[in-house]
Every structure is written in structure tokens, then in C-alpha cells.
Structure 1
Amino acid sequence: MERVEAVSTSQSVKAEEDYYLITDGKNSLFIKSDLLVMLVFSHGSTVAEDIFREIFNTEEFSTEVKEEVQITPQFTSFRVEKDGQIFENGILIYSPEKEEKKEENSERPVHSFAEKGISLPVVVRVFSRQIPLSQIDSIGESSEILISQSDNIDAELLVNGEVIGKAVLTKDKENFRLKIVELLI
């Protein structure tokens, strides 16, 4: 069983591990070699190429092994859990089209991966607060922080650390309901 989670990369990092690279000269897909071996056993020998075809909708590509990768904020990075092992930066995707579209329409971020049918976890952020370091020591397991006295709480939907929508969380007797107010994608 695999679990894939998008991870935000805010600074450049050098990954000094072997990656299997598939590229069409513009778009690139990197898969950690150790992870790729596990995926090949569970999904077949063309798993990496199949993922590339699905994301970028192309049959023209080349492959090679890279001994290190410079991961920049332009990459979409995925943490992958496979058979109990966690692979930080297990899958990396670079697409200049994604960056160009984002610059063209900065108010509405474009997530081309959603268009390709790739599912990503959506985080519902209902509370964000900055707490002075001096108060962090006083917070423990039994601490309670009041979020709201209202039955309606504003929330944000995030994918890969980016806000993709706004919502309202409503308490309905014993349950909570999330009403999407605005989508930004």
C-alpha cells in the first residue's frame, strides 16, 4: 500500500541519492531509486514511465539515473510511504508550464496534476495562530485553546501548502459540516 503526500519546498536542497529521471526535455519526473524498485515489484517494470505518461500526456521521453538532484521551490515534492517505509522527496515533479500558468494567473493557482486525475491530500485549516516562544512552554497535552465561540468557523483548503479554497465549518448537533464558499483553482 502506498500513501503519497505533497510537501512544500521553500528553499533549495541537494538530494545526494540516486533518482530515476524521466524527461521530455521540458517536464521531469524523478523517483528515488529505492522507492522505484519497490514500485516495480508491486506495479510492474513500466510504473515510472506510466506515471510520466499520465501526468504529462506524452509518449516522447528519455530516462537516466541521477546521482544527485538540486530540489528547488519550482519542484512539486511528494513524501511517499510504501510498505511501512517513508521516502522523503520520494517523487519529484518539475514542469515549467505549471510555473508559467501560475505567473499568468497568480490569483487562481493552476494545479495541472488535478486535471490528470492524481489525488492529493487536502488540508482543512481551521485555526492558525502565532504564539510567542515564551508561552509555548506553558502548552501541554491537557491545554485547551479556544478557537471560536461561534457555531461557524472560517476555514481554508490547502493542497501542497497553497490555499486552494475557502470554506465554513459548521457544527450541526454532534457533527461538523464543511461548506465550500470559494474555490481558487
Structure 2
Amino acid sequence: MSSIGTTDINSLPNPGGQDLLRNAPQSNQKYEYDPNKEINNVVSDVQQASRSGLLELPTKDIPITTNHVVQDKEIVPNYIPDASTEDYIKQHQSLYDIQTNVNVNAKNQDSIDYIIDEFGLPIVISIVYFIFQSTKTKNYIYKIIPSFHGSDSTPTTRGYMVISAFFGLSVYILNKTLYKFKM
């Protein structure tokens, strides 16, 4: 073996121990090709087939009536087709119609974006303020962090600061989420 995963060609089994390619018989015949001779052979074959009737159409394939050819008005050399052809271009949507549809869709999208841009933050602030001012939220915060409330259950200064920070963080997160869904 010369390297990992390969085998030397001489170490492979060979029946009889001989190199088969070296003992292959070689012929020294030359093939001659004469194009004129080939063309003459083809022409003589076609002439012989014509003499024997092999190139004629069978009678079943020859039309007996020619009315369909005579009645066809388009066979006249100077035939002009009727002007009643449909305008296939008008059947499809024009470039102007496509552009108009694109502009209308863009205006609709712009109006939705305008509403979100203009009123998104005030709506988010209103929702978060409502949640933070509800009685359930205040009771929940009092249960979780009782040290932010005084002895009379009113929030302390530190409690106001932490609740304000939570309020601001909630507004920020909801505002970012709103703009992520807008795109």
C-alpha cells in the first residue's frame, strides 16, 4: 500500500498474471471513406425505390374531394382578414392600471403607518397607565413587595420610584413591540 486507503495497482489480483491490454490484437486495416461514392449510392437507392413504386402515396391517403380547399377564403393570394379581430392587449391590465393599484396600496399602507406613528405611543401610555392604576395591580404589587408601602398602605417615595421605573419600562417594551409588528 502506498498510502492510507489506497492500493497499488500491481498488488491487485490478475488472472493468468498477464497484462491484458498488452496482448490485445491490433488490426492494421485502413478504412476508406469516399464522399462521392456515398452520394452516388444514396442517389441510386432513391432511383431504385422510385422505379419500384415505394415513393408513391397510397390511394387511401390521396383526398378525393377538394371542397375544403376551394371553400377556404383564406387561400386567395390577396386575402385580407376581417377587422373584427379582438384586441388582445386591451384584455389585459395596462401598465397604468398596475401603477395605479400600486399607488393606492402604498397610500393605504402609508395611512396605517401614519396612524401607528401618530397615535401609537399615546395609546400605549394610556393602556399601561390604566393597568398600573387598577386596584388588582396595586394589590398585587403590595403583596409582592410590601416594603414599598408605608404602615397606612400608601406607597413610599422608594415605592413610587420603582413603580415609575416599571411603568416607563413597560411603555418602552410595548412601544418597541408595536413598531416591530408595524414593519
Please state which structure has a larger fraction of its residues in helix: 2
The TM-score normalised by the length of structure 2 is 0.16
When normalised by structure 1's length, the TM-score is: 0.16
Based on CA coordinates, which of the two structures has the bigger radius of gyration?
2
